[in-house]
Amino acid sequence: MSPLSVVRRLLVVLLLPLLALAAVLGGARASSAVAVPTGVRTGGTDWDALARCESGGRWQAATGNGYYGGLQFDTATWRANGGLAYAPRPDGATREQQIAVAEHLAERRGLAPWPVCGARAGHNGDRADSHTGTHAGGGHGPAHPRPQAPAPRTERAVPEDTPPVISDGGTDAGEAGPETWTVRPGDTLGGIAQEVGSPDGWSTLYALNRQTIGDDPDLILPGQVLALR
């Protein structure tokens, strides 16, 4: 065998493993570069479908009702789930940023904040927290709920038809109004504030009842008695 043949054989022996390794790395790079199409499911939830149900798919929705963006967050929920890293309000954030905040919220509460639209868009109830007040209604509903007529839903401990218990603290009919509110399934601080006409909204109720509610204003439990003033 000539010296040239020996050199060629050595080159083949040395290059074959390198070529095989390059092929493997190239295939892995190609598979990792496959983009997830916009509008598909993330974590089992089709956020575009949920936005179409909530806001008609308008990611910059701001209709003056206190709820913003494609997924209809209120500002308290937006802040509590990291939204201020993107924009002061949901309608000022991009679709992707709103979805990122929604996924953070869903990690804690599942799709319970969107019981109607969430059931259509994903696996509602996978992590739904029955301790958390949720909205309900025929059609659209925000992530931090508007007070609406309740649709059928499942709650622990408190029967579905439990009416709100409002104590007037012994006041006469001509005086200022109720002193306390007993939380029912589906209630939120924002909804209670609207129903009782609180001029400063949910933040005043939270300040009055922080010792009862705890650190999360989104988490109020059926049966809790909240002071209204």
Tell me the per-residue pLDDT of 173-183, one tens digit each, with 9 for 90 and over.
445 567 888 98
> What's the pLDDT score for residue 57?
93
Question: Per residue in 181-200, pLDDT tens?
Answer: 898 887 888 888 888 887 77
Strand ranges (DSSP E) for the chain?
165-167, 180-182, 225-227
pLDDT digits (tens, 9 = 90+) for 95-119: 999 999 999 999 999 998 998 888 7
| Between 32 and 212, residue with greater pLDDT | 212
Please state the pTM of the whole predicted model. Answer: 0.41
Question: Terminus-to-terminus CA distance in the chain, angstroms?
Answer: 101
Q: Which pLDDT score is estimated for 32?
A: 39
Say how far apart CA 144 and CA 147 lie, in whole Å.
10
Which residues lie closer than 8 Å to 133 by C-beta, 6 or more apart?
145, 183, 185, 186, 187, 188, 191, 218, 219, 220
- The residue assigned the tokens 């408190």 is 158
